Structure 1
Amino acid sequence: MADRLKREFIELLEKDNEFRYLVAGYLGYLEILKRLDILHEDQNKIWQEIRSLREGQEKLWEGQNKLWENNTRLWEEVKNLRMSQEKLWEEVTRLREGQEKLWEGQNKLWEEVKILREEQNKLFENYEKMRKYMLTGFRELRMTLGVTFEEYSAGFLEMMLVEMGYSEARVEKKYLVHDGEVIEINLFCEKPLVVGEVTMSIRTIDEINREMEKLLKRVEIIEKKYGEKPLMLILSVARPAAEISESLRVLAEKNGVKLIIGREIEELLS
């Protein structure tokens, strides 16, 4: 019986706070137990606070580590930016040097252009002098020697070619044998290839067609012989009848023939 009561008493002390306080009160320990319970609760709160602080501190350390990582990356970026800036300045320096060289080259080019223009002007002056000299000499030769219109046309055509840049051009009469027949070409230049016919007068449409057919036949023969098309086809007429002049010009233009009229040569050389 006594043992059972002891066990029940101990069990009540362990499980029932009011009973424990009641016994402690009888024994004079009630106030001490209450203070111990309060201390225990405070201690638990402190440990919870410490645990929270530790968790917060760990988060702070994690944040600080991230800040250090970011700071390191920032310094690397700054370093790279400085290196890039230095390269940019080097490139700017090279560009400035290149620009200065370009300006120098451009100034030299302008000087060359100026010299070329002066030389070109001199060439034009010499060309005009030579042209006047040729025209004068050609006119005086015709008056002195009494050259034929065919020779007159050849000289005029040669002068035209010289003005076109063919300074070595020579115009002459040429004879070819074609299909057993001797063909006479009144105006012929090999370099550049030019073929032409000369007639003193044309009075009718039939004569226009006949002279044009004659010229085109000779052009065909020359093309076969030299394997190329002539640079120019020439029909030189000393005195075409006024009433058929327009028809003559139309037919010449249609066939790609340059028409030379005696009167126009006279006006040019007068």
Structure 2
Amino acid sequence: VEALTEAQLKTEERLEKLTERVEALTEAQLKTEERLGEFVAGLESLRTEVGRLSDTLGFGLEDVARVVLPGWLSRHLEVEVEELRREFVEVEGRLVEVNLYGEGLLKGKRAIVVGEVKSRIFGSEVKNFYENTYTPIAEKMGIEVVGVLFGYLIHPSAKKLAEELGLHVIASYER
């Protein structure tokens, strides 16, 4: 009986220690969940700020394009355009947003310039621009449309595809 009593006491001690550990783990879990919630809130805030920064850089690059592209278009393609602006063009009942839009002359004939601005341009961006912006606008307008993509970095896949599709990719440092 004495051995059973001693075993019972040890079991109760172990159970008490186990209960304390479970309580400590529960408290630690609650703190972890609280900190995780703070982390998620911080991450959401960071995502918002990065989005704003991305917009700022994107609009800054558009401003560079508005200054650089008219001269480039004139020198390389004989396109004369007074200004390039952001425009929404209605095509088949939907509005197509165009980063750079300008009306002008291509070798003396009326033409439109449509352009997309991206910091990094890969083949997929060229394909997307061609299918979703350039082609619908070109089909609607019925006049010559010059398609350009302007960015900081032009990947070789973008140059190759743009050439195949009759588009022009221009890096910000090109004159």
- TM-score, normalised to structure 1, is 0.36
Question: Within the alignment, does 1:208 sit opposite 2:118 as a pair?
Answer: no
Structure 2 CA distance for aligned equivalents of residues 254 and 160 of structure 1: 20
**Shift in CA distance, 148/252, structure 1 to aligned 2, threshold 3 Å:** same
Question: Within the alignment, does 1:257 sit opposite 2:167 as a pair?
Answer: yes
Identity among equivalent pairs (%): 22
What pairs up with 1:176-195 in 2 under 5 angstroms? 176-192=89-105, 193-195=112-114
Structure 1 CA distance for aligned equivalents of residues 171 and 79 of structure 2: 23
* Matched residues, number: 109
Q: Where does the alignment leave 5 or more consecutive residues of structure 1 unmatched?
A: 1-146
**Deviation string, structure 1 residues 91-144 (Cα, Å, up to 9, x no partner):** xxxxxxxxxxxxxxxxxxxxxxxxxxxxxxxxxxxxxxxxxxxxxxxxxxxxxx
- TM-score, normalised to structure 2, is 0.52
Aligned-partner SS, 1:217: helix
Preserved CA contact (<8 Å) 2:99 2:116? yes
What pairs up with 1:32-43 in 2 under 5 angstroms? none
Shift, 1:254, TM fit: 0.9
Q: Structure 2 counterpart of 1:249, which letter? A: K
Structure 2 CA distance for aligned equivalents of residues 191 and 151 of structure 1: 19
Shift, 1:165, TM fit: 6.7
Shift, 1:197, TM fit: 1.0
Preserved CA contact (<8 Å) 2:126 2:162? no
**Shift in CA distance, 247/224, structure 1 to aligned 2, threshold 3 Å:** closer
Preserved CA contact (<8 Å) 1:201 1:237? yes
Shift, 1:154, TM fit: 2.0
Higher relative contact order, structure no. (Cα contacts within 8 Å, ≥ 6 residues apart): 2
Preserved CA contact (<8 Å) 1:188 1:195? yes
Match of 2:65 among 122, 145, 153: 153
Structure 2 CA distance for aligned equivalents of residues 189 and 212 of structure 1: 21
What pairs up with 1:1-270 in 2 under 5 angstroms? 148-163=60-75, 164=78, 166=80, 169-192=82-105, 193-202=112-121, 208-230=123-145, 232-240=146-154, 245-262=155-172, 264-265=173-174, 268=175
Which consecutive aligned stretches of 4+ in structure 1 deviate over 6 angstroms post-superposition?
none
Q: Structure 2 counterpart of 1:252, which letter? A: A
Whichever structure has more strand as a proportion of its residues is: 2
**Shift in CA distance, 249/210, structure 1 to aligned 2, threshold 3 Å:** closer
Preserved CA contact (<8 Å) 1:161 1:169? no
RMSD: 2.4
Q: Where does the alignment leave 5 or more consecutive residues of structure 2 unmatched?
A: 1-58, 106-111
Aligned-partner SS, 2:148: strand
